[in-house]
C-alpha cells in the first residue's frame, strides 16, 4: 500500500537494486531476542522485525507482518518504528495505525497479491532527506492473545514488499519467523480442575 509522495519516491525514482535485506521476526523477552516463546491465553507479548544485510540501508520501507492465526488483538501504541522513521508521522502509512485498536483477521488488510492472508502492513518514509535506516530492529510491536484462543501455536512472518535507498531499490527476502506457543490461562486451568473435582465428588 503506497500513498502520496511515497508512491512517487519508491516507484518513479527508484532504479537498480542495491544490496539486500533478510528480514526476520523475533520475540522480545526482557533484553533477549528469541525465535519462540510461550504465553498464556489472555496475555500480551512483544516482538520485533529485524533487518540484516551488511552495508544495506533504506529510506523507504514497505512490508507486511503475516500471522498464521486469526483474531490477535492490538491496542493504541501497539507498534513503534526505529529512528529515523517516525511512528504516526505524516509519512507513516501503516495499517492499522499506531493509535488504533482491534483484531487482526483476513479483513484487516487486503493484499491483492496475497488474498486471504491474515496480515497487517507497515509503510514509512524517513522524514528528512538523507536520513537512512541501516540494519537491526526496524520496528517493534505488542499483540494480545485473546483468552478464547485455543491451545496450540502460531507463527508471525516477515513479508517484504518495497525498500529503497535513495533512487535505488533494495532487495529484501523473508528469513526466520517467530513461533508463539499458547497455553490455557491459569484461570481456565483452575476452572477445569475445579470441574473435575466436582464431577468426582458427585460420582461418590
Average pLDDT taken over every residue of the chain: 88
Tens-digit pLDDT profile for residues 143-175 = 999 999 999 999 999 999 999 999 999 999 999
Domains of the chain in sequence order: 4-203 (2.60.40.680)
Residue with cell string 533512487: 167
The pTM (predicted TM-score) of the whole model is 0.84
How would you label 90-125 residue by residue, b for 16+ Cβ within 10 Å and e otherwise?
Answer: ebbbbebebeeeebbeeebbeeeeeeebbbbbbbbb
CB-neighbour burial class of residue 190 (10 A; exposed 0-12, middle 13-18, buried 19+)? exposed
Tens-digit pLDDT profile for residues 45-104 = 999 999 999 999 999 999 999 999 999 999 999 999 999 999 999 999 999 999 999 999
Amino acid at each position: 500500500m503506497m500513498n502520496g509522495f511515497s508512491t512517487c519516491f519508491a516507484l518513479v525514482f527508484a532504479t537498480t537494486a542495491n544490496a539486500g535485506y533478510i528480514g526476520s521476526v523475533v520475540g522480545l523477552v526482557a533484553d533477549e531476542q528469541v525465535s519462540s516463546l510461550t504465553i498464556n491465553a489472555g496475555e500480551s507479548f512483544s516482538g520485533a522485525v529485524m533487518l540484516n544485510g551488511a552495508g544495506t540501508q533504506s529510506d523507504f520501507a514497505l512490508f507486511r507482518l503475516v500471522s498464521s492465526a486469526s483474531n490477535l488483538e492490538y491496542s493504541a501504541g501497539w507498534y513503534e518504528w526505529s529512528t529515523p522513521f517516525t511512528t504516526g508521522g505524516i509519512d507513516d502509512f501503516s495499517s492499522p495505525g499506531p493509535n488504533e485498536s482491534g483484531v487482526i483477521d483476513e479483513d484487516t488488510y487486503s493484499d491483492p497479491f496475497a488474498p486471504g492472508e491474515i496480515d497487517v502492513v507497515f509503510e514509512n518514509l524517513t522524514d528528512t532527506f538523507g536520513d537512512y535506516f541501516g540494519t537491526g530492529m526496524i520496528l517493534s510491536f505488542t499483540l494480545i492473545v485473546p483468552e478464547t484462543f485455543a491451545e496450540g501455536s502460531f507463527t508471525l512472518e516477515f513479508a517484504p514488499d518495497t525498500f529503497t535507498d535513495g533512487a535505488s531499490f533494495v532487495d529484501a527476502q523473508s528469513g526466520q519467523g517467530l513461533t508463539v506457543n499458547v497455553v490455557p490461562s491459569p484461570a481456565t486451568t483452575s476452572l477445569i480442575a475445579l470441574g473435575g473435582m466436582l464431577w468426582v465428588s458427585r460420582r461418590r
